[in-house]
Amino acid sequence: MNGKIIRKNPETMPSPVGNYTQITRVPKNAELIVTSGQVGVDKNGTIPKDFNEQVKNTFINIKRLLETEEISSDNIIKVNIWATESIDWDFLYAEWDTLFQTEYPAMTIGYISELGLPDIKIEIEIWAAEI
């Protein structure tokens, strides 16, 4: 392996059903950065009632985390998303594409009955690697 993160969708696999990559390979000796799940709380500590506002705030919080670690979305290798209600994919993918453009990480999505606080409707955890 050549010392960079490699993303691929093998021809032997069905195409992804969304904006993600089937396989993400991380080179040896990369530093792993794992975040706690990011939620839709705004900078004032308020959790909006609207699901899409929470999505928007969650992506803002992820971008802030990346900035604090001085890494970019290119370093993100895996994303786990948990939601308590149906995701508006057009809205989420608009936020997703501003973060990733076309270099998508591996992704898992799960719908669950509740998250850590009753008002939280979405939580996104990121795994990143710095080479």
Domain ranges of the chain: 6-130
For the chain, the 3-state helix, strand and coil shares in percent, each to the nearest 5, are 25, 25, 50
Q: Express each pLDDT in 24-40 by its tens digit.
A: 989 999 999 999 999 99
What does the pLDDT look like over 34-76, one tens digit per residue? Answer: 999 999 999 999 999 999 999 999 999 999 999 999 999 999 9
Helix (H/G/I), strand (E/B), else coil: 52? helix
Tell me the pLDDT band of 87, cut-offs 50, 70 and 90.
very high
Q: What is the pLDDT, as a whole number, of residue 1?
A: 54
Class of the CATH-defined domain 6-130: alpha beta
Give the separation between CA 104 and CA 102, rounded to whole angstroms: 6
Compute the average pLDDT of residues 77-81.
97
Residues 106-122, mean pLDDT to the nearest whole number: 96
Contact between 26 and 107 under an 8 Å Cβ cutoff? The reply is no
